[in-house]
Amino acid sequence: MTAASGKRSRAALRAFLAAEDGILADPAPADPRAAELEALGAEDPEALRTIREVFAGTSLPEDREKVRRLLRTRSEIQREWADARDSFLAIGRALIALEAMLTKAEFARLRRGSARLFPFSDATATQLRQIARAVDGGRIPAEACPGSYGTAYQITLLTEPQLRAARERGLIRPDVTRREILQLRREVPAGGAPLLPAGRLDRARLRAERARLAERRARLAAALAAVEHRIAQLDALLAPALEG
């Protein structure tokens, strides 16, 4: 099969799958606008649900154009955010490689002249190197590294007990905020001892944390259900081809 025919075959398969989706999909709701908005969020049901929650009580969730623009903008920002993370990790690794090549005296000169040689200060260069070491050393999984180097740097400052607490609270993730990490550092001492005496719990904070985790669990469950449904659709469509 030639490359051209292979491309045509893949294009034909995509068209076939797109056409057949309507056959296997759940019956459309009575309101055609609702069905159209469901289609817009089919690839990212969590995003569509979040839009409905954020703009509850307004007409925006029913505005197809505004929902489409929000979904498109969210996708673009997430892509750029990931690109930003890859960029500052690459810079950090390049600086580490340069440091290994220079003598101690040369590296000291480099640090003093950092702002003249690079578009950032020595303090920023230090943070970027530290983040790269944390990712490459396994303290921060690359896929969980935030897109903001300032937030990622705050994670590198966590002690092992604080890092364990961050993992338990689900804070080692790409969309974690600097505020959340700073809050953790305030609540969990470097040595890991509880801030409050035994028997005294900040129940309001614990309830709020539980509510956040329960909401996140529900969103992840919905996203997983959507993925499983799509896989089942694709399996059903591909089964005749596989049997032939």
Q: Evaluate if residue 137 carries a pLDDT over 70.
A: yes
Beta-carbon contacts of residue 18 (< 8 Å; ≥ 6 apart)? none
For residues 48 and 67, what is the distance between their CA atoms, to the nearest angstrom?
A: 8
pLDDT of 17: 43
Beta-carbon contacts of residue 194 (< 8 Å; ≥ 6 apart)? none
Confidence bin at 202 (pLDDT 50/70/90) = low
Please give the C-alpha separations between residue 100 and each of 91, 111, 112, 161, in angstroms, as whole numbers: 14, 14, 17, 30
Length, in residues, of the chain: 244
Residues 101-116 have pLDDT tens digits of: 999 999 999 999 999 9
Give mean pLDDT, residues 220-230. Answer: 84
Main-chain phi, psi angles of 194, to 5 degrees: -65, 145
Q: Evaluate if residue 215 carries a pLDDT over 80.
A: yes
Give mean pLDDT, residues 117-143. Answer: 95
**Residue that the structure tokens 């491309």 belong to:** 7
pLDDT of 214: 82
pLDDT of 34: 56
pLDDT of 229: 82
DSSP assignment letter at 200? -
